[in-house]
Amino acid sequence: MPTAARASIRVLVEPQVYLVGRQVLNTEAMEEFLDDHGMAWDTDTDVAGERLAEAAGRLCYLSFGKGRKTNKEYLQHILTVGHGSVLEHAVWNFIFAGVSRSMTHELVRHRAGFGYSQLSQRYVDESQADFVAPPIIAEDPELRALFEECVRHCQETYVTLAAKLTERYAQVPDLTLRRKLARQAARAVLPNATETRIFVTANARALRHFIELRGDEHADVEIRAVAVKLWEIMREEAPNLFGDYERYDAPDGTPALRTQWRKV
């Protein structure tokens, strides 16, 4: 049975982005390949994604060899000439939390180079869910009160519907299936503001494309906040791949991103 809705609504404003996975370069296999083909290669970065992107680029032209460009110089050249395909070999994994269903509807439009696994409203009870409000609403007492009243009503209606639907499905012997059937119908009244969590896997080229589009000052404020947080993580994680972006204040005072090397 679904539990009662919360007495007080918890409103979230700041998204959370967690870097939970990264690649590891198999150095033994890489060295075996180089030895088998009479080549040698050394690079000055310990970041697997940066090493893999460089290796992929050098393989295209068999430009392995000592005394060549640093990894930063090499990848900067890749960005300059727009040889973006080599960036697709560098992959990371993230969890986004404190984000709205509205935001993830936009997020999952980014298909090329991305993989997603999102919290299921068919299986997860949303009677205790939080809600995400745009800052312009959350920071205004009158607008916030209206927002909280609306989402509270939606959540209370969800709880009532889920309980009654569970009774309607009493003939279904499997309790898990019964709850799923009830929740998948009751979720229809939950608003776009409902908080969700989503596991995201993406390669460096796809991440750059996302950051450029969604970090732009014309993007929605929430997804732009996600793009900025994602970039802040990747700037530290792989500066040779993401260090070219500049953070600046958009006309509305919120942070935005730009780079001279777009559409790599």
Per-residue model confidence as pLDDT tens digits over 241-254? 999 999 999 999 99
Output the pLDDT for position 8: 83
* Helix 175-186 vs helix 141-168: crossing angle, to nearest 10: 140
Q: Which of 58, 183, 214, 224 is catalytic?
A: 214
pTM across the whole model: 0.94
Q: Does 187 qualify as catalytic in the annotation?
A: no
Q: What DSSP character marks residue 84?
A: G
Output the pLDDT for position 149: 97
> Into which CATH architecture does domain 1-22+90-264 fall?
2-Layer Sandwich (3.30)
The 10 Å Cβ neighbour count of residue 12 is 17
Q: Are 40 and 34 in contact (CB under 8 A)?
A: yes
Please write the tens of the pLDDT for every residue from 105-146.
Answer: 999 999 999 999 999 999 999 999 999 999 999 999 999 999
Strand 91-100 versus strand 16-22 pairing type: antiparallel
Sheet of 16-22, strands arranged across: 16-22, 91-100, 195-203, 114-118
Q: Percentage of the chain with pLDDT > 70?
A: 97
How large is the average pLDDT for residues 81-94? 97
Residues forming CATH 3.30.70.3180 domain(s) in the chain: 1-22+90-264
